[in-house]
Structure 1
Amino acid sequence: MSDQSSGSDTAAARDQKPDAVLHADIVPMVWFSCALAALAGLLFGMDIGVISGALPFIKQDFHVSTAMEGWIVSSMMVGAALGALMAGGISQRFGRRKALLYSSLLFFVGALVAVIAPNTTVLVIARILLGLAVGVASFTAPLYLSEVAPERIRGTTISFYQLMVTIGILAAFVSNLAFSYVESWRWMFGVLMIPAFMLFLGVLMVPTSPRWLAARDRFDEAREVLQRLRSSQAEVDYEMKEIQESVESESQSRGWDMFKENPNFRRSVMLGICLQLVQQFTGMNAIMYFAPQIFQLSGFEGTAAQLWSTVVTGLINVLATFIAIGFIDRLGRKPILYAGFTIMATSMAVLALILGIGPSTTFLQYTAMGALLIFVAGFAMSAGPLIWTLCAEIQPLHGRDFGISASTVSNWVGNFAVGQFFPVMIAGIGGTATFGILAGLNAVFIVLTFMLIPETKGISLESIEKKLMSGKALRNIGS
């Protein structure tokens, strides 16, 4: 089926919706629930950002080897992969809300263990605990947001989660800079306990996902929740009808059984895995984890100068995410991804070229820094928020926990590979070759976006599911 006919199907479907649904107001409870769920992103971001500032002082205190340095960074990703693997079962059995509560408790405990760690072994254990929390949160928060937000703002709310990730990274960079003057990496980790406690209290006040309730045949409760989240009875009735049709039309097999039995579900799972690996191999998290070392390669000497540079990086990361929030539900997912991958490929190529020449002058040093910041902006406006949005949108209801769990695990496996091998690549083949490879990968991702990724702007989750299960090409399951 062509994109044009798919678009016609979508337009026809939208025309059938009552005006009360198409133009309904967004009730405050939706924004409140989304804001509190997105707070998980703040912790996610802080956990990513804290290690870049803490690592130089950890190395100084514990005299760690290069191999142990890689483990201190990447152990969090091991925990995150395990957390994401468990999150599907936790979320399916206990609900999205309780999964977020468990995540906040793990964050608090992991941060506390890091603060009191007497050696690198205990610190690695703390990082694994923090990773478990991140894995559960990174799975559950986008899923919860996709299920409570109306379709017309779904992309915006999930992008808001990514905004909180970037704010968390910036907050960690600022905290790192502040505590660097007293050389206290323990306080850098201790700060994580504050938002963990806030998340726990906040999630106690948000409603359960109506789609999770419906998937467990608790339709009356699902309707009650929707009446708190939607502005009119017509909107509640319409959405409940779509949800019930989705539940009734699917086989009751779930998870792994559904993956084995249904080839269309396998396609959505594999697309989710592909999307998360794409996000990791843009190179963004490598830059965040090892930002001080990268600025050192670019000619900026001294811990203070490097940490100030990471604060600027974090600020750009936050500001550029507002581009995604402002345009994801206006322009759509694919145009923003095209722009983002183009920006990232070009900026990495420029950085590789400068490192090859040698940043021997002030002009070249600041050009290298500019290329790095432009890369960060390209990621923050595109692949950062949009990949999480798409992964939360493309999975059918009964397979959603399994599908998103699989894609989130792949994110953290890719993240682990980047954290473990990026410093080895820098040391082995040099910055020029490493960033040249990243430039090439981002160019390839432009082609993958065209070939595989659907446009899901303004399409209900149930409509995406129907097209997927009818066998339409992946790039056509949206509009």
Structure 2
Amino acid sequence: MVDIKPAAPTVALPPIGTGPHRRRLGLLALVATFGGLLFGYDTGVINGALLPMKQELGLTNFTEGVVTSSLLFGAAIGAMLGGRIADGWGRRKTILVLAVTFFVGTLACVFAPTFGVIVVGRVLLGLAVGGASTVVPVFLAELAPYEIRGSLSGRNELMIVIGQLAAFLVNALIGNLWGEGHGVWRVMLAVCALPAIALFVGMLRVPESPRWLASKGRNAEALDVLRQIRSDERAEAEIEDIKRSNEFEAQVQQESGWRTLIGNKWLIRIVLIGAGLGVAQQLTGINSIMYYGQTVLIESGFQASAALIANIAPGVIAVIGGVIAIMNMERINRRTTLIIGFSLTTLCHFLIGIASVALPDGNPARPWVILFLVVAFVGSMQTFLNIAVWVVLSEIFPTQIRALGMGISVFCLWIANAFLGLYFPTIVAATGITGTFFGFGIVGLLALLFIWKFVPESRGRTLEEVEEGVTTGNIFTVDKTGRRTH
């Protein structure tokens, strides 16, 4: 085995400071996170569009699941393709391609005459959603100074839940004004074209990731980009840090991508951890609530129109939780945040299951108690889990496999999401709310054990420090607080 010697210690970087470069960084992040907004709207809009679509197209429980999950299976493929394309073409060009795919997929869905065409349109949207879920967090992490990387990268997840809330509001507005009229779901889906156009136009003026440029030997271009979003002193110090890290990586590995991954046991381990973290996030059932929230609330006792309005509450709490999460992202360790999140969501799962047993159908308190617990679950998820998971995934992979590692992890995340989306209506029909949420609770206990034993700490480290720790295996030597023991 090759003896891997750590690179020279990182010299302390100058402070990030304030000024026009900070405002420029915020603007670039805002444009990129329109990809997250599209992600959120496209995954959330089906929540209210599904019932009128089901009636117009004559969907069964299974084909209803196919329409929902077709986007998710497409997203799994998009996550893998997006990662590979972003490593080769660059982050910026890939996001531009995704914006076009969002627009074309939206048009296919809006004008779909049959079940088959709507599935094709949903798969196209899925390719774009999956690609965005891989590439946008990586792009943000590579733009951000390490001191605010968590809060800046977390903005993408905040935009996702804002997109989902926007979908719930649009659904409620159109559904209650338009009623169950012919084609109402097409109008709900059509709104997605607007942020797709905004993302494309905005990304035309956004520069490439400086770390991707440096990984291709284009150091002068990388420095030019850094000078747009850092002070001159910080930009020059940071490019030297990036070059030093790239030189270290060149000593350790001669290839990028799959060959690099397979040749290093520590890289295989970090990718398995990333994949496990993504699957654990999805098996909380959060996206089942986002896709089928109206179905769950009807099952708990609400009327269909009331459920459409009540469904806004989880969307609102998701945005509030996202804002709180970003505020705490630089204050609380990633591992601590994840453990708190899985503890709270697991508790909510068991409480929902208990409430559905203790309050039988017909009890006037049943729908409101379950709504309260669903809102508590979504709030816990967004405050402690969703943003933290995406931030960790954007941080833990070395530059040479960052998009690939992210793509593999997000592929596994979307596959778990897709199968859950496909079979959730059938599971609820077979086991009711009780069995469904008790099942989520048991999975949550297993996820807690996984986080405690395997997930490393990445807060407070530059991407280059994380990269060296992963490549040498040092980052996996942690005590129970998440700090390195040496």
Fold shared by both chains (TM-score > 0.5): yes
Displacement of 1:252 in angstroms is 2.7
Q: Which residue of 1 aligns with 2:3?
A: none
* Structure 2: distance between partners of 1:435 and 1:359: 17
1:159 aligns with 2:158: no
- Of residues 266, 269, 290, the one that matches 1:267 is 269
Displacement of 1:293 in angstroms is 0.9
CA separation of 1:63 and 1:405: change in aligned 2, threshold 3 A: same
Contact 2:346 2:445 (8 Å CA) reproduced: yes
* Structure 2: distance between partners of 1:252 and 1:22: 33
Displacement of 1:433 in angstroms is 1.2
Paired residues for 1:86-101 under 5 Å: 86-101=81-96
Name the amino acid aligned to 2:218. R
Paired residues for 1:277-316 under 5 Å: 277-301=279-303, 303-316=304-317
Q: Helix, strand or coil for the counterpart of 2:78?
A: helix
* Structure 1: distance between partners of 2:462 and 2:17: 15
* Structure 1: distance between partners of 2:62 and 2:298: 20
Q: Helix, strand or coil for the counterpart of 1:136?
A: helix
Q: How many residues in Structure 1 have an aligned counterpart in Structure 2?
A: 465
TM-score, structure 2 normalization: 0.92
Q: Which residue of 1 aligns with 2:260?
A: 258
Displacement of 1:116 in angstroms is 0.5
* Structure 2: distance between partners of 1:27 and 1:70: 44
Contact 2:356 2:366 (8 Å CA) reproduced: no
Displacement of 1:273 in angstroms is 0.6
* Structure 1: distance between partners of 2:367 and 2:288: 20
Contact 2:106 2:121 (8 Å CA) reproduced: yes
Paired residues for 1:179-198 under 5 Å: 179-181=174-176, 182=178, 183=180, 184-198=184-198
Name the amino acid aligned to 1:248. E
Gaps (5+ residues) in structure 2?
1-5
Q: Which residue of 2 aligns with 1:6?
A: none
TM-score, structure 1 normalization: 0.94
* Structure 1: distance between partners of 2:469 and 2:83: 24
* Structure 1: distance between partners of 2:140 and 2:104: 25
Contact 1:459 1:478 (8 Å CA) reproduced: no
Q: Which residue of 2 aligns with 1:368?
A: 370
Displacement of 1:474 in angstroms is 2.7
1:113 aligns with 2:108: yes
CA separation of 1:475 and 1:299: change in aligned 2, threshold 3 A: farther
Paired residues for 1:74-89 under 5 Å: 74-89=69-84
Displacement of 1:21 in angstroms is 3.0
Paired residues for 1:440-455 under 5 Å: 440-455=442-457
Q: Helix, strand or coil for the counterpart of 1:382?
A: helix
Contact 1:340 1:378 (8 Å CA) reproduced: yes
Q: Which residue of 2 aligns with 1:3?
A: none
1:232 aligns with 2:227: no
Name the amino acid aligned to 1:452. F
Paired residues for 1:74-473 under 5 Å: 74-181=69-176, 182=178, 183=180, 184-233=184-233, 235-250=234-249, 251-301=253-303, 303-357=304-358, 358-472=360-474
Q: Helix, strand or coil for the counterpart of 2:208?
A: coil
Instruction: Give % identity.
Output: 34
Contact 2:466 2:475 (8 Å CA) reproduced: no
Contact 1:456 1:478 (8 Å CA) reproduced: no
Q: Helix, strand or coil for the counterpart of 1:362?
A: coil
Contact 1:276 1:407 (8 Å CA) reproduced: yes
CA RMSD of aligned residues (A): 1.8
Q: Helix, strand or coil for the counterpart of 1:118?
A: coil
Displacement of 1:90 in angstroms is 1.3
Displacement of 1:445 in angstroms is 2.1
CA separation of 1:232 and 1:275: change in aligned 2, threshold 3 A: same
Contact 2:16 2:231 (8 Å CA) reproduced: no
Offset from partner CA, 1:209-252 (integer Å, 9 cap, x none): 0000011111111111111110232x112211221122111223
Displacement of 1:362 in angstroms is 2.7
Name the amino acid aligned to 1:247. N
Name the amino acid aligned to 2:313. V
CA separation of 1:243 and 1:346: change in aligned 2, threshold 3 A: same
* Structure 1: distance between partners of 2:115 and 2:298: 25
Name the amino acid aligned to 2:331. R
CA separation of 1:307 and 1:38: change in aligned 2, threshold 3 A: same
* Structure 1: distance between partners of 2:271 and 2:483: 16
Name the amino acid aligned to 1:444. L
Displacement of 1:22 in angstroms is 6.3
Displacement of 1:24 in angstroms is 6.5
Q: Which residue of 2 aligns with 1:5?
A: none
Q: Helix, strand or coil for the counterpart of 1:246?
A: helix
Displacement of 1:148 in angstroms is 0.3
Gaps (5+ residues) in structure 1?
1-8
CA separation of 1:24 and 1:271: change in aligned 2, threshold 3 A: farther
Contact 1:246 1:397 (8 Å CA) reproduced: no
